[in-house]
Amino acid sequence: MTYLEARQYLESLTNYEKDAGCPLFSSLKLRRVRDFLTFIGNPQKYLKVIHVAGTKGKGSVCAMTAYILREAGFSVGLYTSPHLKSFRERIRILKPSSGGKEFRDFEGEISKNELADLVGELKPLIGRYNRRCEYGPLSFFEVYTALAFLYFRRRNTDFTVLETGMGGRLDATNIADSLVCGITPISFEHCRQLGNTLSKIAAQKAGIIKKNGSIVISAPQCAEVRKILLKRSRRFRARLFEVGKNIRYSSSGGKLTVRGLNDNYRGIGLKLRGRHQEANAALAVGLVEGLSFSGFKISSSAIRRGLHKTLWPGRCEVAAKNPLVVLDGAQNKASARAIRKAVADNFKYRKLILVLGISSDKDIRGICGELEPFADEIIVTRASTARAASPAEISGYLRKKNSLTGSVREARRLAFSLAGKQDLVLVTGSLFVVGEFRNV
Task: Give domain limits for the chain.
Answer: 3-309, 317-439
Q: Is the pLDDT of residue 223 over 60?
A: yes
- What's the average model confidence in pLDDT over 304-330? 93
The backbone torsions φ and ψ at residue 32, rounded to the nearest 5 degrees and listed phi first, read -65, -50
Q: Cβ-count burial of 113 within 10 angstroms (0-12 exposed, 13-18 middle, 19+ buried)?
A: exposed
CATH code 3.40.50.1220 for 3-309:
no
> What pLDDT is recorded for position 179?
96
> What is the fold of 317-439?
Protein-Tyrosine Phosphatase; Chain A (3.90.190)
> What pLDDT is recorded for position 23?
54
Q: Is the pLDDT of residue 336 over 80?
A: yes
Q: Give pLDDT tens digits for 20-41.
A: 555 545 556 788 999 999 999 9
Distances (CA, A) of 75 to 92, 120, 300, 401, 433: 10, 25, 18, 51, 32
> What pLDDT is recorded for position 440?
81
- What's the average model confidence in pLDDT over 262-268? 95
Q: What is the CA radius of gyration of the chain?
A: 21
The backbone torsions φ and ψ at residue 183, rounded to the nearest 5 degrees and listed phi first, read -120, 110
> What pLDDT is recorded for position 211?
85
> What pLDDT is recorded for position 260?
96
Which range scores top for mean pLDDT: 29-33, 282-286, 319-323? 282-286
pLDDT tier for residue 42 given thresholds of 50, 70 and 90: very high
> What pLDDT is recorded for position 318?
92
Average pLDDT of the chain? 92
> What pLDDT is recorded for position 355?
98
Nearest-angstrom CA–CA distance, 162 and 331: 20
Q: Give pLDDT tens digits for 48-93.
A: 999 999 998 999 999 999 999 999 999 999 999 999 989 999 999 9
Q: Give pLDDT tens digits for 150-203.
A: 999 999 999 999 999 988 899 999 999 999 999 999 987 655 566 568 999 999
pLDDT tier for residue 101 given thresholds of 50, 70 and 90: low
- What's the average model confidence in pLDDT over 142-150? 97
Residue 186's identity, in one-letter code, is I
> What pLDDT is recorded for position 133?
84
Q: Is the pLDDT of residue 43 over 90?
A: yes
